């Protein structure tokens, strides 16, 4: 209903402008020596409106172009965050399923990408412990200790 109202209002405005333009007999004389340009007032108003909309469109395009690097940067950050979150989820699923090698691989990848380092370091450490890779476990626990100073003894102690 709202769209119908706006459509009717725009059509009514177009009809009113057309009727006003047919009864307008004014003209504009532009003089720039040695040139003289005579235009109807309707044509001048139409040209001014077209120039306004073209300038407005060009300004919007320029604004978008200037903001493009920020949008690309935000897109890349979001894509990296999605990859990190996916790797973390895969690591958690593999750890819960008992596939410790894949769990350690995915958690280490998510840890490299910076996704919740304390959690991923603990998942990787637990998976490495289950694989009896104690040196890797200790390295992951050290990373967990650095990432989360509030919980220095989180998880296992070496």
Extended beta strands in the chain, E state: 27-32, 35-40
For the four alpha carbons of 117, 119, 121 and 124, in that order, the dihedral sign comes to negative
pLDDT at residue 149 tops 80: no
The residue ranking higher by pLDDT, 147 or 41, is 41
pTM score, whole prediction: 0.58
pLDDT at 156: 47
Q: Over 50: is that where the pLDDT of 100 sits?
A: yes
**Taking all residues of the chain, what is their mean pLDDT, rounded to a whole number?**
88
The domain limits of the chain are 40-147
Architecture of domain 40-147: Alpha Horseshoe (1.25)
Place 146 in a pLDDT band, splitting at 50, 70 and 90. Answer: confident
């Amino acid at each position: 209903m709202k769209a119908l109202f706006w459509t009717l209002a725009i059509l009514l405005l177009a009809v009113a402008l057309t009727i006003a333009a047919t009864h307008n007999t004014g003209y504009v004389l532009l003089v720039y020596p040695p040139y003289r340009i005579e235009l109807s007032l309707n044509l001048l108003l139409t040209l001014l409106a077209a120039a306004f909309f073209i300038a407005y469109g060009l300004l919007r395009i320029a604004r978008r172009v200037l903001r493009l690097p920020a949008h690309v940067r935000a897109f890349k950050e979001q894509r990296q965050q999605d990859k990190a979150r996916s790797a973390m989820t895969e690591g958690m699923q593999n750890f819960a399923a008992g596939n410790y090698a894949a769990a350690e691989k995915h958690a280490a990848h998510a840890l490299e990408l910076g996704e919740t380092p304390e959690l991923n370091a603990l998942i990787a450490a637990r998976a490495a412990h289950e694989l009896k890779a104690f040196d890797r476990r200790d390295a992951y626990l050290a990373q967990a200790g650095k990432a989360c100073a509030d919980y220095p003894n989180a998880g296992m102690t070496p």
